[in-house]
Structure 1
Amino acid sequence: MSYDVVYLADRPDCVDACAAWAYGRWGVQKPNSSLENARAYFAQCRQKDALPLTLLAINRETGLPIGMASLWPQDGTDWPEKTPWIAAVYTLYRYRGIGIARCLVNRLLDEAERLAIKTVYLKSGSAAEMYRGFGFEELDRQPSLTAEEGYKTLFYKHI
């Protein structure tokens, strides 16, 4: 299976897919979230030289998005002093386990370096081991009612 990594800015037709993935995976767990809010935020992620920005994995055969990852100034309110964040890392179930998330995160690290960012943060529940495998280091943990493990982990990586 082959795919290309592109900016959401180059595929604005994929804003709805990003919003649906993000809202369906994380937004439904938040009391003040909505699909419309997710759509509005991803519409802001259609840029290449400032935050927020989103990258997509596009299936070469179908031309459809199969994954995404974003670089945001903030990701929630848990650690407000930390910025910027790798956020909304998502791969369609059918395509998991073949390295799409790793590719997208690595590309985001390249984008962060290009934008002169020295450190990035991310938080994770069930995917914490994946991020450890990508070289991220644990900085903190907080209880979580929605994470399977019962806590969310704050990670960082120096670029």
Structure 2
Amino acid sequence: MLLRTSFYDRTTSVWEEIWSDHLHHGYYTKTTKNNYEAQVEMIEQLLKFNVGCGIGGSSMYITQHYLGVQCYGITISSKQVQTAINNAQKMKLTDTCEFQLANALSLPFPNEIFDIVYSMESGEHIPDKRKFMSQMNYVLKSGGDLFMMATWCHRTV
């Protein structure tokens, strides 16, 4: 895991420069004006189903637009955690957004703590998919709660 962590720490600045606050792709329509708008629309599209953390852009967007929501973001990159914390402080969102260094294959949360578990373009980077899904299920409250995941993939034709 050290190799991956180092990779994310080294590349986060490049991704941030290219993608801004949201370290994920966008949802494009005929009226999409730019990449940032498409990234925000990707969040909105997932939230339409009632619904990660990178540098915290999606978490901060959600808490700004949906009152009463508390977001906890994790990443294996210490650089991304620090950037997310700094961004939340600048935007005065430290009461609604919390970020920490953690591995999705070994979550530091108790069983059934979250109403919603939201993964935006991170599942594809996790080597053990079964364990990842097991961890998501472990922290998700039982009884009608929701796990949302957007991920990119490819297949041979």
Q: Shared topology, TM-score over 0.5?
A: no
Point out the structure with the larger helix share. 2
Q: Determine which structure has greater relative contact order: mean sequence separation of CA pairs < 8 Å that are 6+ residues apart, divided by chain length.
A: 2
